[in-house]
Structure 1
């Protein structure tokens, strides 16, 4: 038998082994079998293809891409793109897919391309790709594609897309979860919370029907709970959210992205509290393994929180270094980094340096200087420079006519005792809104405050101008009309009379009782006096119901006062009966223990023997002797005294 025949037989034998290992899922052995075939014949494309698939199955992606490049397997577009995708090289993967000569792309490449677009955060193109795939496919993976489509829709909502996603399905817990994420992205946290609770309930019911264990249910539903905690946190329910995050971290899930989100959100709740716990959790969130699992928005948020944590812990140098790295890596958040740097300088009382940095930024970005100038205003106020803060606010261009800015400027001017300038600011704002006719929301409060301010300052015409604008938006408000009449009356009586005709009649506002009470009261009297006068008017003889009051008074009988027991009318009462006991004649004061009359001697000694036993007196020294002492009759102690027995009167009838 020739060597060629032996070689062919060996290749067939190895192919049989390769097929068996592949069907049994023994991919390591399958790779070895493929290597044996390639050792006999390097041009065996099927064996090379099987080897690449086997390496992918055992997650040896670096070996797979090296083998593809070494063997020049350019035909394996899908395998190459998939390996690049798994190696976190989505740009290369997209380039590989787009270089495919087969047009239109095969279904597997379409699916992979949509996944790559999602990883690259090209959500608009990804959304259209999934819509096209769902439209042109009919297999068992319809639910998975619908779930991916709703996930893309959720990310578009977070980015502020105006597309309508109301027609997306919500019949599975994954779809309900993605719909809730879309609502959360739009800021509708209350509605998102309700959907997340429904999704959690549906998840448990679905998995219980499939016979899953409690641990499996918890692992599957933990992502829903974490999103629920985020919605609660954004609604201000930090304690509930913190408890959910803590429970999720205790599960020790294999999802590194989930752990990173929980850790970061816990740090956000802690703020400047629990610093040691925050340091530990921020290190977990900054793990390199999490970077490719999170979106760029999430990675930015974690990096910003890391900078803020160093700010809270007074690590000034480290804070500056981290901010510099943050701005280099994410140039689109330069202003956020600047605010952190400025906050650190302000914390160190370096207000001038902080203001200089913000001024430099406003010169570089004049079209986006509003947030920076607000920050400058805050710093100047912290430094006590009201004049500088007013100048910054007045340099905002047309933005200085915004209601909030106008209010701030007026408040600062009034605080500086400059009423004339404050009045002028309000005048300019009123005139600007009249000319520009820009709709900047509800300006009712601003018009009302401006009118009140000018009325108090005696500028009736300016106040009337504000009230006229206010009346346009609230034509039914009689209070505004009354103020307008008062303003007109000060400079144009004809207008005041014409406007007063629109006021409601007096009869519709008050009734007879209110008029009578007002006429009966004197406004110069105190409140208590007015109340007494009104009550007297109501009870006057001419008032209806007064006769009924008289009848009630007649019916009331005076009760006789109760006399004490053993009362004798012939005996004069004690004249001191109304005096306190200590002021009465027969009151005996208790002996003061500190007085000189304190009895000296043993307990129970009679008062008569005090002088006898007082050794300080010379006359008693000769008398005092053991015989005399022993002959004295002892006085019974306290225990020998007997209480006088009082005979209790028996109760009975006499």
Structure 2
């Protein structure tokens, strides 16, 4: 029996070797299961089974096998940790890797991947850098790509690491370099790198590659290009790319989630029904696994804002509380969203109290909360309360933007003295603390000086102008203003400063006094040019107006067939149908039928109507008033009209 079992074992191992050469993992798995069934303590057969399950992506079965054959798992920590990593059980995978006594290079590389998923980018960067130094194989490009991704995510998380120069320029590395530029706010450079990455990506495919496969790979680069446009305020271009990506339905769920979220952010309070559908897809568990913690936080905040836009106040409040529990860093944004919900419900007093209490509790959030309170107060028209709120900010009050807002509000309410007081405090505080650079304060000194000069406080204006001169000693405009200010309360000082003004240059040799004295310069450049054309030069002789040649008369235009020996036709001014020659040519027609306006020949019609022949034979007024054939229609109309008008006038008198 022993010989038979050994023979069976050898035969099965022979099959394993044969199937391994052709990478037929299904048959390897079946053969390994037969071996384990016959030889439950065979560690090598168990190893074959685990490797084949990993190659077939059956990671749940891998964990079941480790549980069933616990006595055979020694030395397979890497495989178990990899299965846990692929099942997104990152913490458990790290524990397995920590249990390895003498980690090899493969353990360190997997550990770096696990640390990346845990967003421990500092440790991940150091580990990956060591792995790259120790290795030199076909996977160097992938390691460099992962290193560039780690640097980008470190920048996003708040720690900046310089991007090194890589040996290869793959589209993945170009993409990560573009993301690095975006993290630093260098959008023009990022746009160039993304275009280059897309070009390299398309060229990396074979000519016979399916277009769908190419577009699927390019989708993440296009998505980042849309984000680049989005950050630059080019919302229309960004939304167009987001929409085209979603229509293609890429296989990467992370790309779909980001495109949906950014589309919602652009739409804001528009297309709310479509935004709700997109948000529902984003919040699914299968998508959330693919996202980083920063992306999850942004999506959760956008979900709360979407609930606010759809007037789901209670639902929004519940989502905000849940958000704060999962993401404590969003507490400040949560307070602002709660205040927005209360404000939409016309509960501004409660919103102000909520933000005021939070500002006292969290001093670091005081500035944001107070500015939000000012916005609510201004929406209610309470300008004086808004001014008091801004003045309660302490040292933050002296920021240039806040000082500008205070001065504008005080001037709007007709309180120039209060505005002057605020500027005076700001000037003295900045002179004392010197917390900002001199260049940033130039606008503050300028506004303060102008306001104090207008309000009749030349001493304070002079102090501000002195500060301006320290920034730019060669500014003659500021020097002139300073002289004007000193002239009002210290004439001696004004005279001393006036000596620093540049001397006037004698421009009289270059001036044309005659042109200045003439009135034509007031009429503009055209009049001056016209005057220059008409004014004679010294060498031109004068011409008398009497001897000026007159314009010649135009030649008479005669007809082409004009004959001077024949008199012109006296009827040439009449219409053709009224001329006698026209009548002669039309002899075939009845001469009594004339032409003209409608109704002009009604009498002739009655004359030839057989039913009216007897009546027309008698002498009637209409028959007597019929015109002779020699008269034309115009003469008929004139004669008839005159008679009728006369008759009407007589009848009117009667």
TM class by shorter chain equals 0.7 to 0.9
- Alignment pair present for 1:83 and 2:72: no
| Equivalent residues of 2:387, 2:409 under 8 A apart | yes
Deviation at 1:514, TM superposition (A): 6.9
Matched residues in 2 for 1:308 and 1:381: separation? Answer: 22
Q: What residue in structure 2 maps to residue 379 of structure 1? A: 376
**For 1:203-602, what aligned pairs fall within 5 Å after superposition?**
203-208=201-206, 212-440=209-437, 442-507=440-505, 531=522, 548=537, 554=543
Contact 1:242 1:266 survives alignment (8 Å): yes
Contact 2:343 2:351 in 1 (8 A): yes
Unaligned runs of 5+ residues in structure 1 are 522-527, 567-601, 609-625, 645-654
Distance 1:520 1:112, change over 3 A: same
Deviation at 1:453, TM superposition (A): 0.3
Alpha-carbon distance change, 460 to 547 in structure 1, aligned in 2, over 3 angstroms: farther
1:652 match:
none
Q: CA deviation at 1:479?
A: 0.9
String of CA shifts for 1:253-288, please: whole Å, max 9, x gaps: 211111111111222222222223222222232232
Pick closer, same or farther for the CA change 1:560–1:263 going to 2, 3 Å.
Answer: same
Contact 2:427 / 2:444 at 8 angstroms: preserved in 1?
A: no
- 1:203 Cα deviation from its structure 2 partner: 2.0
With 548-557 and 47-56 compared, the bigger mean Cα shift is at 548-557
Distance 1:9 1:349 in 2: 87
Distance 1:147 1:539 in 2: 74
Partner of 1:574: none
Q: Residue 51 of structure 1 aligns with which residue? A: 49
Please report how far the alpha carbon of residue 312 of structure 1 lies from its aligned counterpart in structure 2 after TM superposition.
Answer: 2.1
Q: CA distance change for structure 1 residues 76 and 423 in 2, over 3 Å: closer, same or farther?
A: same
Distance 2:400 2:186 in 1: 26
Distance 1:81 1:531, change over 3 A: same
Tell me, in whole angstroms, the C-alpha distance in 1 between the residues paired with 2:52 and 2:440.
66
Kept in 1: contact 2:59–2:86 (CA 8 A): yes
CA distances 1:471-524 after superposition (whole Å, capped 9, x unpaired): 22222221111111111111222221222222111118x666679699969xxx
SS at match of 1:29: helix
Q: 1:30 is matched with which residue: 28, 34, 37?
A: 28
Deviations 1:65-116 (A, max 9, x none): 13213322243210111111111111221121122111xx201111101111
Quote the offset at 1:60 in angstroms.
2.1
CA contact under 8 A between 1:14 and 1:33: conserved in structure 2? yes
Decide whether the 8 Å contact of 1:160 with 1:186 is kept in 2: no
Does residue 127 in structure 1 map to residue 86 in structure 2? no
Give the TM-score of the pair, scaled to structure 1.
0.80
Structure 1 equivalent of residue 153 of structure 2: 155
Deviation at 1:558, TM superposition (A): 6.2
State which drifts further: 56-65 or 16-25. Answer: 16-25
Query: In structure 2, what is the Cα distance between the partners aligned to 1:193 and 1:86?
Result: 33
TM-score (norm. length: structure 2): 0.80
**1:58-73 equivalent positions in 2, closer than 5 A:** 58-72=56-70, 73=73
After TM superposition, list the pairs within 5 Å mapping 1:159-174 onto structure 2. 159-169=157-167, 171-174=169-172
Q: 2:181 corresponds to which residue?
A: 183
Cα distance in 2 for partners of 1:555, 1:173 equals: 87
Name which of structure 1's ranges 141-150 and 250-259 shifts more when overlaid on structure 2.
250-259
CA contact (8 A) 1:180 1:192 kept: yes
Aligned-partner Cα distance in 2 for 1:553–1:394: 80
* CA distance in 1: counterparts of 2:84 and 2:113, whole angstroms: 12
- SS of 1:207 mapped into structure 2: coil
What is the 5 A alignment of 1:136-147?
136-147=134-145
Q: What is the alpha-carbon distance in structure 1 between the residues aligned to residue 165 and residue 74 of structure 2? A: 41
Which residue is 2:101 aligned to? 101
Determine the C-alpha separation between the residues in 2 that align with 1:403 and 1:635.
Answer: 102
Q: Return closer, same or farther for 1:413/1:26 CA change in 2, 3 Å cut-off.
A: same
Instruction: Report if the CA contact (8 A) 2:151-2:162 is conserved.
Output: no
Q: CA deviation at 1:604?
A: 1.7
Using the TM superposition, give the Cα deviation of residue 334 of structure 1 relative to its aligned residue in structure 2, in angstroms: 1.1
Task: Check conservation: 1:61, 1:83, Cα contact below 8 A.
Answer: yes
How far is 1:627 from its partner? 4.3
Native 8 Å contact 1:200 1:221 kept in 2: yes
Cα 1:643–1:24 change in 2 (3 A) is farther
Q: CA deviation at 1:41?
A: 2.4
Residue 170 of structure 1: how far off its partner (Å)? 5.6
Check whether the contact 2:332–2:365 (CA below 8 A) recurs between aligned residues: no
- Is the alpha carbon distance of 1:156 and 1:481 closer, same or farther for their aligned partners in structure 2, counting shifts above 3 Å? same
Task: Give the Å deviation of 1:214.
Answer: 3.6
**CA–CA distance in structure 2, aligned partners of residues 326 and 106 of structure 1:** 41
